Amino acid sequence: MHNQNKVEPYEPSAFYTDGQASRQVPAGTVPRGVYGHKIAPYTGLAVEAPPPAGPPQVTMVLLKRGQERYNVFCSPCHDRVGNGRGMIVLRGYKQPPSLHEARLLSLPPEYFVQVMTEGFGVMPAYAEEVSVQDRWAIAAYIRALQYSQNARLADIPAERRQALDAKIREGSTTNPRSGAQGVTRPDAVQDYDRRPDPTEVP
């Protein structure tokens, strides 16, 4: 088994007229998984034309699209809040950092787009699964998600804060079963809120 009937890369070979075992790639071949300047949508980073002036404008349509794509591709590891305790992590995958740590809060959206494009650490690249436009949408939603978990009451405009304070005092919801007023949780745990005990996973 040590001496097999094969040739190693760059070994000589008498089979071909040029004496080389390694063959030249046919002209026009597009290698899979290699970023090229002619396939900018594949990477979103290398473009022959002048690059776009920054990320797209943030709109509710963009944020909703980003939320949808985030829940599909990111939440299995990062969970839906961004704390890094998704279902895959509970089943043994390495836990990613929380999206709410100080280091990631200070980074621009371009950083998240680049990480989604090229991967980082144990996180694989998602350039093939997620389009460039959706990567920007996810980055915008990550920024909104970060703000939602770190917002301050003082950030709310005065007129809206008064209305919010009134709702908090009066109770914004009423439990249809108990009749209790105030902010209440659902009577039953929703399926998407369930988190299995890792010790019970077969």
Mean pLDDT of the 172-195 span: 51
Contact status, residue 44 vs residue 135, Cβ threshold 8 Å: yes
Mean pLDDT of the 61-85 span: 95
The residue that leads in pLDDT, 36 or 109, is 109
Within a domain: residue 163? Answer: no
Within a domain: residue 130? Answer: yes
Please give the tally of structural domains in the chain. 1
Domain of 77, in residue numbers: 60-149
Give the CATH number, domain containing residue 108: 1.10.760.10
Within a domain: residue 79? Answer: yes
pLDDT confidence bin for 93, thresholds 50/70/90: very high
DSSP structure string for 46-75: --SSPPPSSSPPP-HHHHHHHHHHHHHHTH
**pLDDT at res. 62:** 94
pLDDT confidence bin for 21, thresholds 50/70/90: confident
